[in-house]
Each structure stands twice: as C-alpha cells, then as structure tokens.
C-alpha cells in the first residue's frame, strides 16, 4: 500500500517538492518558531493542508486549544465536517508526554467540531493516549516506509531536514484516513 507523502517546514519552499500531496504548516502556539503567512498557505492550496499548533505544556490546555481552533477557523478550516472527514488540528508535543494536557485540549477541540491529532517522537507520543498521532521516527532513506502498525498511528514523519527550494523540509506519510481529514483549497485571509 502506498501512503500520501506530506511535507512540513518552518519556512516553506515556494513550491512543493515532487510527489508531495499535502502540507503541515504552523498556525501558532507559544512555542511555534514561526507561523506560516496567509500567502504561504496559498502556495499549497492545491494540496491537502493540516494546521499545526505548538503549545506550551506549562500552561492550561483549554485557552491554547481555543486559540488553535480560532486560528484554524480564521484560515478557513471547516468545523463539524461529517465523519470520516472531520478536519484535524495537530498539536506538536515533540518528546513530551502529558496525557492530562492532551485530554483537556482534545475536549475543547472536539467540542469545536475538529479532531485533535498529536505529533511527537515515536518514543513518547503514544504515552499521550491520543485518538490519532503522527509519530516522528527519523529512519531516512529514499524509499517511503510503511506507517507503523498501531491503532492510533495515522502518520509517520520519517525524514527531517531535507534541503529543498532554499529551505529545509521534513517528510511524512499519512494513512488515507488521516489524509482525508486535511483541508483543501485556498485558505481565507481573515
């Protein structure tokens, strides 16, 4: 089975690398290195798009989750899409394990009509007990690896820091079910 290939970058390239079908981009959060501009989102309007929020786990989850929802909606992600395509909001927890924080954030995101997906290192991300995760396991190589088996793993980031278009991009693969939850089309400028 082949999986859709996704890229992410702090500073996105002007075009997507060959074979890319979707992008993860930063929408905010206290630990976000850089938030994508409206124009940067528009570059990839022909691809599936996944909003990524980088929270501060030392602060309560509810206000940060609400901020993530507000930012995603302002850019045009639709709340309360019917299943199985309800849109996702990704939170980047890196190597942190904090299931109580994740649960609090998930409650807010779910009530707002989205699904929370946790991104983090494969060595820790499953400890967050999330409904869906994207696991970073930097195996590298030129061949796409399969997404690891596991009920909650919907994506695998397998190769980081690849030079492309004057910047560095990371590559992931998503299951078709997670891929279908990405937004499509132009983002709103609101």
To the nearest 10°, the Cα dihedral for 152, 91, 43, 7?
-50
> What is the per-residue pLDDT for 145?
66
Can you give the residue ranges of every domain in the chain?
A: 5-179
List the alpha helices (DSSP H) in the chain: 38-43, 61-74, 99-111, 176-179
> What is the per-residue pLDDT for 140?
75
Q: Does domain 5-179 have CATH number 3.20.20.80?
A: yes
Strand residues in the chain grouped as ranges (E): 5-8, 22-28, 48-53, 88-92, 115-121, 132-136, 153-164, 167-174
Contact of 128 with 97, CB cutoff 8 Å: yes
> What is the per-residue pLDDT for 100?
97
Residue-level pLDDT, tens digit, the chain, 190 residues: 689 999 999 999 999 999 999 999 999 999 999 999 999 999 999 999 999 999 999 999 999 999 999 999 999 999 999 999 999 999 999 999 999 999 999 999 999 999 999 999 999 999 999 989 999 998 877 666 677 777 689 999 999 999 999 999 999 999 999 999 999 888 876 5
> What is the per-residue pLDDT for 41?
96
Supply the pTM of this predicted model. Answer: 0.94
Contact of 111 with 85, CB cutoff 8 Å: no
């Amino acid at each position: 089975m082949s999986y859709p290939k996704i890229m992410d970058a702090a500073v996105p390239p002007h075009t997507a690398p060959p074979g890319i079908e979707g992008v993860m981009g930063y929408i905010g959060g206290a630990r976000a290195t850089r938030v994508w501009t409206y124009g940067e989102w528009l570059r990839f309007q022909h691809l599936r798009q996944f909003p990524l929020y980088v929270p501060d786990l030392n602060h309560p989850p509810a206000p940060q989750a609400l901020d993530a929802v507000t930012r995603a909606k302002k850019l045009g992600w639709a709340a309360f899409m019917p299943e199985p395509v309800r849109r996702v909001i990704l939170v980047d927890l890196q190597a942190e394990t904090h299931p109580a924080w994740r649960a609090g954030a998930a409650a807010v995101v779910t009530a707002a009509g989205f699904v929370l997906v946790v991104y983090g290192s494969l060595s820790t991300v499953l400890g967050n007990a999330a409904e869906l995760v994207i696991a970073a396991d930097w195996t590298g190589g030129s061949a796409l690896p399969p997404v690891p088996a596991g009920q909650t793993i919907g994506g695998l980031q397998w190769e980081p820091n690849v030079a492309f278009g004057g910047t560095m991009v990371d590559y992931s693969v998503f299951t078709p079910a997670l891929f279908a939850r990405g937004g499509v089309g132009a983002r709103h400028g609101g």
